[in-house]
Amino acid sequence: MTELETAVNKRRTFAIISHPDAGKTTITEQMLLFGGVVREAGTVKGRKTGKFATSDWMEIEKKRGISVTSSVMQFDYEGKRINILDTPGHEDFSEDTYRTLMAVDSAVMVIDSAKGIEPQTKKLFQICKMRGIPIFTFLNKLDRDGREPLDLLAEIEDVLGIETYPMNWPIGMGKGLKGLYDIYNKRVALYKPQGNHAYLDLDENGDIASDEPLHQDSQWQDTLDEVELVQSAGNELSEDKIMSGDLTPVFFGSALANFGVETFLQSYMQFAPAPTPHKTRDESVIKPTDDVFSGFVFKIQANMNPNHRDRIAFVRICSGEFKRGMDVTLERDQKSMRLSNSTQFMAEERENVETAVAGDIIGLYDTGNFQIGDTIYTGKNDFQFEKLPQFTPELFVHVTAKNVMKQKSFHKGIQQLVQEGAIQMFRSYSSNDYILGAVGQLQFEVFQFRMQNEYNSDVLMETMGNKIARWIDPEQLDERMASSRNLLVKDREDQPLFLFENQFAENWFQQKYPDVKLTSRL
């Protein structure tokens, strides 16, 4: 194996998908503790609340108590190099959150076992599903009373449409939590609220020694019955199905009590894929171990500090090795550029990176050269990675220039920010007004800020609220179909779509025009 192959095969790059409060920060922190990157629990959480925020990179980030360093966290564990990409929730949710999922090889889905599948998990899951990447599920907060394990598995299968395989099974829950029956490793992990969880081996019948106190517990027999049931009636563990994203291994545990997290991490490392090949637009495939360096920009973070106009472009390396100072070609305009100002993200701080390989994420300081979706490469072979998908926006605003005399900078700003992928733009059919669409409120705030700071254009934004965007085949369109409850607009490529006021309005429309086919992007 070449040095590059060895290095690439060590990489495991994933994102955690979850609904806010399910425990993403807590589990991330436990993983960083295992990786020896942070020594104390509370470091990442502290950063989230602003206590440890040291970066002055982005005003909005600072205000919100997150920092660019937490966008990508890298650490070593048991001979592997792990990259965790953050997928912000709450008000920080944006198209970037979705695009981040284009840059990972697998995903970890954290679910609150009392709540089950929540809306944000579902949205993020759908993108992982579309990509066909492996998804590993952690059902969290077992130390609290939650829903029945069987019920949770059924919900994952029904709502998300993915098969499940329980890798372990809870022995009680909440105050009655005794431990985990580790189906995969054939052992029992005993739960001790103060930590120091111990293990018991299972005999060939899947039982524990009869003199163990747990054996006398009524909970034990219940667990054996349930495990037998899921093993006989449930799915089989299939590595192929995990790899294609058709089956998710499910782990129960408690991130806060650090119970089941290490076993989860170990199993994850056993099954999760090393960096996978990426397709180009002409259907050829770039292998991660190719000598040629290549990557694509999946996120651009603008600096909100007016004294520092620079931005940071996040690049997923798809093949070869990055070396600081190397020359690459920017595919879009065939320009050659030197990558001298780069950064890599460690869990503790931003560091200048000297080398990185396929699977890693690097941040490139950018003065406006990059756009989301850009391909960069070395070598003579010209290629472009597959187009990043456009996501269906859910929030809309009407936007106009505050100062009518400054139309030129207003138009220029909008065009460029839309092209960069910061926001989506639509035009009203009837009035040709500008309408902006986003998946999260933060995108509008960033848009407004950047219009003012980078284009000297004050904008007025009038909220239109949540809408359901559905595209319609131009052949089927009759402009009279539009109404105040389904606004007719066109996208950047002049494709027509309706913005429905709510689900009721869409259903009503479909009943009235049963032959009209409406589509969402994702």
Answer yes or no: is 140 a known binding residue: yes
Which of 9, 11, 13, 18 touches ligand G4P by CB under 6 A?
Answer: 18
**Ramachandran bin of 116, using left for φ above 0, alpha for ψ from -120 to 50, beta for the remaining angles:** left
- Shortest Å, Cβ 64 to ligand G4P: 13
Residues 93-112 as x/- pattern, contact with ligand G4P by CB under 6 A: --------------------
In the window 325-344, what residues touch ligand G4P (CB under 6 A)?
Answer: none
Contact status: 197 vs ligand G4P (CB under 6 A): no
Closer residue to ligand G4P in complex, CB, 69/319: 69
For the CB of residue 242, give the shortest distance to ligand G4P in the complex, in Å: 24
Q: Which of 342, 343, 288 is nearest to 319 (CA)?
A: 288
Q: Segment contacting ligand G4P (CB under 6 A): 16-24, 32-40, 342-350, 372-380?
A: 16-24
Tell me: does residue 115 bind ligand G4P (CB under 6 A).
Answer: no
Residues that bind ligand G4P (rule: CB under 6 A) add up to a total of 18
Residue (9 or 25) nearer to ligand G4P, CB: 25
Q: Least Å distance between CB 257 and ligand G4P?
A: 6
Q: Shortest approach of ligand G4P to residue 98 CB, angstroms?
A: 17
> Least distance to ligand G4P from the beta carbon of 26, Å?
3
Establish if 62 lies at the interface with ligand G4P (CB under 6 A): no
* Among 4, 5, 10, 20, interactor with ligand G4P by CB under 6 A: 20
Q: Give which of 263, 265, 261, 285 is closest to 275, Cα–Cα.
A: 285
CA distance 490 to 428: 7
The residue (of 89 and 245) whose beta carbon lies closer to ligand G4P is 89
- SS (HEC) of 204-241: CCCCCCCCCHHHHCHHHHHHHHHHHHHHHHCCCCCHHH
Q: How many other CB atoms are found less than 10 A from the CB of residue 234? A: 16
Q: Given the complex with ligand G4P, which of 92 and 360 has the nearer CB atom? A: 92
N-to-C CA span, the chain: 40
Residue in 45, 80, 324, 398 binding ligand G4P, rule: CB under 6 A: 45
Nearest to 142 by CA among 184, 196, 189: 189
The reply on whether position 22 binds ligand G4P by CB under 6 A is yes
Annotated binding-site residue? 235 = no
From the list 15-23, 119-127, 215-223, 313-321, the region that binds ligand G4P by CB under 6 A is 15-23
* Using rule CB under 6 A, residue 265 touches ligand G4P: no
The edge-to-edge listing of strands for the beta sheet with 496-500 is 459-466, 395-401, 434-438, 424-428, 486-490, 496-500, 468-472, 518-519
The SS3 assignment for 519 reads: strand
225 labelled ligand-binding: no
Asked whether residue 290 is marked as a ligand-binding residue, the answer is: no
Under rule CB under 6 A, residue 23 binds ligand G4P: yes
Binding of ligand G4P by 254 (CB under 6 A): yes
Q: Is 433 annotated as a binding residue?
A: no
Q: Is 120 in the site for ligand G4P (CB under 6 A)?
A: no
Task: Kindly tell me which of 22 and 227 has the beta carbon lying closer to ligand G4P.
Answer: 22
CA distance 489 to 486: 9
Reference 512, options 500, 496, 495; nearest CA is: 500
| CB burial string 38-60: b at 16+ within 10 A, e below | beeeebbebbbeeebbebebbeb
Distance of CA 478 to the CA centre of its chain: 38
Exposed, middle or buried, 507 (CB in 10 Å: 0-12/13-18/19+)?
A: exposed
- Taking the alpha carbons of 258, 259, 264, 267 in that order, is the dihedral positive or negative? positive
Helix (H, G, I), strand (E, B) or coil at 185: coil
Helix (H, G, I), strand (E, B) or coil at 73: strand
The span of 80-88, 137-145, 277-285, 435-443 binding ligand G4P (CB under 6 A) equals 137-145
Name the residue nearer to ligand G4P (CB basis): 101 or 315: 101
Can residue 143 be called a binding residue for ligand G4P (CB under 6 A)? yes
Rule CB under 6 A: is residue 394 a binding residue for ligand G4P?
no
Annotated ligand binding at 89? The verdict is yes
Query: Residue 143, annotated ligand binder?
Result: yes
User: Among residues 64, 129, 144, 485, which is the contact residue for ligand G4P, using CB under 6 A?
Assistant: 144
- Please report, for residues 94, 184, 196, 269, 475, the alpha-carbon distance to residue 87 in angstroms, rounded to integers and kept in the order given: 9, 29, 31, 20, 38
Tell me if 19 is assigned to a ligand binding site: yes
CB nearer to ligand G4P: pick between 18 and 342: 18
Ramachandran quadrant class, 206 (left: phi over 0; alpha: psi -120 to 50; beta: rest)? left
C-beta of 24 vs 467, nearer to ligand G4P:
24
Contact (Cβ atoms closer than 8 angstroms) between residue 274 and residue 288: yes
Q: Which is nearer to ligand G4P, 254 or 457 (CB)?
A: 254
Residue 258, token pair as written in the block: 């650090």
DSSP H or E stretch at residue 178: none
**Among 141, 187, 278, 450, interactor with ligand G4P by CB under 6 A:** 141
Q: Which one, 20 or 273, has the nearer CB to ligand G4P?
A: 20
Considering the complex, what minimum distance in angstroms separates the CB of residue 256 from ligand G4P?
3
4, 5, 10, 21: which one binds ligand G4P (CB under 6 A):
21
What is the spatial distance between Cα 173 and Cα 63, in angstroms, rounded to a whole number? 38
* CA dihedral for 34, 40, 42, 46, sign (positive or negative): negative
CA 20 vs CA 16, 119, 143, 153, 486: distances in Å: 11, 10, 19, 20, 31
24 binds ligand G4P (CB under 6 A): yes
List of residues contacting ligand G4P (CB under 6 A): 18, 20-26, 45, 89, 140-141, 143-144, 254-257
| Binding-site residues for GTP | 18-25, 86-90, 140-143
